[in-house]
Amino acid sequence: MAVSDNNSICAVRNVWVAFEGGASRIVLEDVSLDVAPNEILAILGPSGCGKSTLVRVMVGLIRPTRGEVLAHGKPLQGLHPGIALVFQNFGLFPWLTVRQNVEMALSGLDVPTEEARERVTHCIDTVGLGGHQDAFPKELSGGMKQRVGIARAMARAPELLCMDEPFSALDVFTAESLRSEIYNLWIARDGAPGRLRPPSSLKSIVMITHLIEEAVFLADRIVIMGTMPGHIRQILHNTLSHPRDYQSPDFQKMVQQIHGIIVSEHMPDEPTAPAPPAGQAPTMEPIPPVDLGQVVGLMEIVQDRRGRVDVFTLEKLTDAEFGHTLALVMAGEMLDFLDTPKEIVLLTDLGRRFLQQDMAGRQRILREQLLKLDLFRFIVKRLQCAPEKQLPKEIIEEDLVMRLLIRDVEPLFDTIVSWGRSGELFGYAPTTETLYLTEPESEPAR
C-alpha cells in the first residue's frame, strides 16, 4: 500500500542502524516503510533480522545512524506522541495493582480525573479483566499479565499500537486465545453490537512476530525481513476475507507462499553469491550460527520419520521458529548429513552412519566433514603456519571479514570455535582470546 508521507502515521526512509559505531555491527540496512491508517501491519522474520530495532526506530526510542523517521510527514523529534508499545515480558510493576499499573500510562498526560478513571476502567474491561482491578501481578496468569500490558497501552489513547511479539512468553493455548481476542477487538472497531470497542483514537496496529500463521491471521500487510543485516525482502498484501479460518485453503495457500519466500533465502536451489573481483581475496561460505547439538537433534527427528520429512512439518516438530529450523537444516546440509531437494529434508547415508556411532566415532566423522569446508581448512592452515600454532582472535576475525565479506563477525567466530572444538580441530583460550591448534586423541590400539 503506497501512502504519502502526510497520510502515513509514521514512516522510515532509507534507514540504517549500526551499533557500536562500526560497519561490522549494522543491524538495519536501507529500510523504508510506511504505516498507513486502518491497517494491521505484521513485521515477520527470524531472530536477529532487526524487527524490534525497526519498531523502536519508528517509535523514537532509537535514532537511526542514517536515514529519516517521519510522523505524519514531518521529521520525528523525540518520541512519537501517538504510539504506545506492548512488550514481550509484560513490564508490570509488581507492587501496583492492575488498575494502578494501567493508570501509569496516563502519567504526564493532562487528563481530567474523572475522564482518566473512566478511561482506565474501560480499557481494563475491554481486555476482559473486569473484576481484577485490585489484583497484583503475582496473582495473575501470564495471559492476564499481558492483558494488563495491552490495557495500559490503550489507556494512552494511541493512534498506533505497537506489539513486540506479545504472545511469545505465553503457552500455546493462552497465546491463541489472546490472539483471537486481539483480532475480535480490531474487528469490533466497526461497531459490532454487544462488544466493547478499543479507543476511538486507535487507527492501526504494528505487530512483530516470527510466526507465519499469526501474521496471516491478523495482518492486512505482511513485511518479510531478511538478515545479515536486517532488510525488507518483500511486502505482501493480505486479501483474505474476514472472518479468517486457519484451515481454509486460501489461508493455507498464503502460509505456503510465505514459507516459500523465507525458504528461498535460507535454502536456495542454486548459489547466488557473485564471484569476487579480480585481485580480491577468495571468499568462503560462512556457517550458520547454530549449535551442533541441535543439528544432531534435528537429524534424529528426521531419522525417526524414516529419514524423510518436509521442512514445514519439521518446523512444527522442532517447536522452533522457522528461520532457526532452516539454519539447522542448512548446517546439516553443509556437513553432508542432510540433503534438501526442494522443500524435503533427507537424512543422507553419511548422516545415518554418523547417528549410529558412539561419541568417539561421531567426533571422528565430524572432524573429517569440517575439514572438507573451505572455512575450517583455511583456519587450520593459518594456525599450522603461525608461531606456536596459535593466533589472536582479532587476527582470525580480520581474515573472516576479508574473505567472507560479512559485517557482524562476532557470532560467526563464536560458532566457528564451538564447531572446531566439537571436531577437535582447534581450541580457544578466552582469557587470552587466542585460538590454538589441537590434535585429536589417538584411537586405542586394536
Sheet holding 66-71, edge to edge: 26-35, 10-18, 66-71, 74-75
Look at residue 286 in the predicted model and tell me its pLDDT: 81
User: What is the biggest distance separating any 2 CA atoms in the chain, rounded to whole angstroms?
Assistant: 87
- Answer whether 10-262 and 292-437 agree in fold: no
C-alpha cell at 444: 586405542
Q: What is the pLDDT of residue 274?
A: 46
Give residue 165's pLDDT.
Answer: 83
Q: How far apart are CA 350 and CA 168, in angstroms?
A: 37
> Domain extents for the chain?
10-262, 292-437
- Tell me what pLDDT residue 238 has: 92
- What are the residue ranges of helices labelled H in 156-248? 172-187, 212-218
CATH of 292-437, one of 1.10.3720.10, 3.90.241.10, 3.90.930.12, 3.40.50.300: 3.90.241.10
Average pLDDT of adjacent 10-residue blocks, the chain of 446 residues: 64 87 69 91 83 90 91 88 80 87 82 85 82 86 84 85 81 76 74 51 86 89 86 92 87 87 61 45 72 90 88 75 82 92 87 90 92 92 88 85 69 90 90 84 44
Q: Where are the beta strands (DSSP E) in 352-396?
A: 390-392
The edge-to-edge listing of strands for the beta sheet with 308-310 is 308-310, 344-347, 338-339
DSSP for residue 283? P
* Residue 130: CB atoms within 10 Å: 12
3-state secondary structure of 387: helix
- 10-262: CATH topology: Rossmann fold (3.40.50)
Is this model's pTM higher than 0.75 or not? no
